[in-house]
Chain A
Amino acid sequence: MRLFLAALALIAGTTPAAAQWLDRPWSGIPRTADGKPNLAAPAPRGPGGHPDLTGIWSGPVPDIRFDPADAQPWVNDLIRQRQREYHKGRPLYNCLPSGPEADRSAGWKRILQTPAAIVILNEDLSYRVIHMDGRELEANPAPSWTGYSVGRWEGDTLIVESTGFNEKTWLSRYGQSHTEALRVTERYRRRDLGHLDVEVTFTDPRAYTKPWGFTAEMELNADTEMLESICERSSDQWQGGPVAADTAVAVSPEVLARYVGVYHGVYGGTKRVIEVTLSGDQLIAKVTGRAAVDGGEMRPLIPQSETSFDGHGIVYQFVVGDNGVATALDEIHISGPERFPKQR
């Protein structure tokens, strides 16, 4: 739990306060009658006639199209191991470059387009260079965190191919690994002034039997500037500590059996169902509902006391009646506990 909190604290610490927005009107962009940026106006074009992607962009965390069935067993093993470790090895939490990680397509970016290169500047002061001078990807690139990118225009779509990634970056915050054979294909399309869609495909036959990816939908942040958000790791920020498995206690199967059941509630505005089953002496929570993804659907519950369990970094606390049978299940988030009454 301590670690999980630490991880969340790190996220909070590396994200700028939303209040730090600057009011900086841009000149030369189309505006509606009421003076607001006309986000539906046609996309601007650069000197070469291609769309100009220059701007300050941000978008939500994308939904990844990932099916564990398409991953090699070692990838799924690593995902489970990283879940058990509360994702503490995620590059972002260690002030390391996130490379191709899908979740990092969210957040603020500034794109600047020059004839020779397009640069993508991130708010953590890291950057990417996409070479636009027609060069080819190297056959045997030196592995790096950010990879090596070349771009070309296909009509109004910018196609960026990247290779040369080291094996340390993740493909999403859930810990999908990849090998140095990873190739990332991105298709950037500025639909109009205010919208940039990026279709991203990960291809890595050594790790996945099929390519997979996500679509990032970014919006223009007009009339403002992007501020820096520096990852300031210091020894007092990272709490460290044992993982749940190391602090597990023994709880008898008779007690565990009293927790089996189906619990209903709402989390993050959507219905969530937690079905608790007992397999041998292992309690398992199957979490369904849209928010199920954070931590995964199937969570082995590792006892930390007779009523308190760790499930992939989230604490599950059973509320029991006089007879010891559970009447509700509290899912304890950083925002506080959410109660899920037992339905059956």
Chain B
Amino acid sequence: MKATTVVLILVASAVRASAQAPATGTAAGCPLEPVKFHACAQPKIKAFSPPRTPDGHPDLNGYWERAFTSQNIEEHGDGLGVQAGPSLVIDTPDRRIPYQPAALELRKTMADRFISPLASCFPPGVPRHALAPSSHQILQTPGYVVHLLEYSHAYRVIPTTAGPHAPGSVRLWQGDSRGRWEGNTLVVDVTNSNGLAWFDNAGNFVSDAVHVVERFTLVDADTIHYEARIDDPDVFTRPWTMVSAFRRNKEPGYELLEQACYEGNRAVEGAEGVGLKPYQGVTGILGGAR
């Protein structure tokens, strides 16, 4: 019952009624199943000559809708307020997240013990930013890519000029992103995470040692192939890769609205009411990792 209550709270708080439900079907003519989409997109990416910004980089500007939600990035069935979905993990034998044994045990009870970060209106972190509820907007200027969300009016900034990461003492919800263009792909190296963001509502997690490398690539004019390689030696047995997609929102005159997430948000009270605690990361819970 506890889990049910939490799911209801999350649905109420984190998803606007008008938010576009992630669609099923196809993107760029490829099936929206991560492994199949990934394989199908590769030759199309090679063949596609993307539109470019004045400074010569692929043009990602526009409004975008996520292809998959962040209810559970592993395969899951229908539930109360949860739509069935495939695993976004593409490169492990069972398509499960390769948790270390202690981390797997923690994962099993995570969502029954702690308040989901999005219920508290916290930033989604990376890679969840790419799966976050609501519409997305990408703005490109020379030297920067900005990824805006309607959800909690959050954003992330990706500098695309060379530079070092922030010193290790700096710990951020959204991490520290450094981007670069490799051919037609925006490659983003993300470190300095505070380890407090989850992948999804199911409680899939990382530590603050996580290192994410993301790849944004246009498959056609209206589809972005999104890939994130996750490395966290404190939590996983090996690095692994997840795949999602963005589809362009072509509605004329479309624009992001505002979601003041804290406004009237009773989700935290509700979650505390059923005994959940604020999530403070896995340091101290995941014993002996470092």
* Chain A residues packing against B (C-beta within 8 Å): 20, 22, 24, 27, 47, 54, 94-97, 110, 112-114, 116-117, 119, 121, 125-127, 129, 131, 142, 144-146, 225-228, 230-235
Contacts and interface: CB of A to CB of B under 8 A. Distances in A.
B146 interface: yes
A121 B157 contact: yes
Given A232-B122, A233-B262, A235-B272, A121 B256 contact: no
Interface in B130-157: 139-141, 144, 146, 148, 152-155, 157
Interface residues of B, number: 38
B159 interface: yes
Contact of A22 (B120, B170, B268): B170
Given A119-B139, A228-B173, A145 B122 contact: no
13 contacts: A27-B161, A97-B153, A97-B260, A114-B139, A119-B148, A125-B154, A127-B148, A144-B257, A225-B166, A227-B166, A228-B123, A228-B173, A231-B262
A112 B153 contact: no
Interface string B251-285: 00001111010110000110010000010000000
Nearest to A231: B262
Interface of B: 54, 61, 120-123, 139-141, 144, 146, 148, 152-155, 157, 159, 161, 163-164, 166-167, 170, 172-174, 255-258, 260, 262-263, 268-269, 272, 278
A20 B170 contact: yes
A94 B173 contact: no
A116 B121 CA distance: 29
Contacts of A142: 257
B248 to A, nearest CB: 15
Given A47-B54, A119-B146, A228-B174, A125 B263 contact: no
Given A97-B258, A230-B173, 13 more contacts: A22-B166, A96-B260, A96-B263, A114-B139, A119-B146, A119-B148, A121-B155, A129-B148, A131-B255, A145-B260, A146-B153, A232-B120, A234-B268
B77 to A, nearest CB: 33
A119 B122 CA distance: 21
Contacts of A127: 148, 153, 155
Contact of B139 (A117, A125, A225): A117
A146 B139 contact: no
Contacts of A227: 166, 170, 172
Nearest to B153: A126
Contacts of A230: 122-123, 173
A240 to B, nearest CB: 14
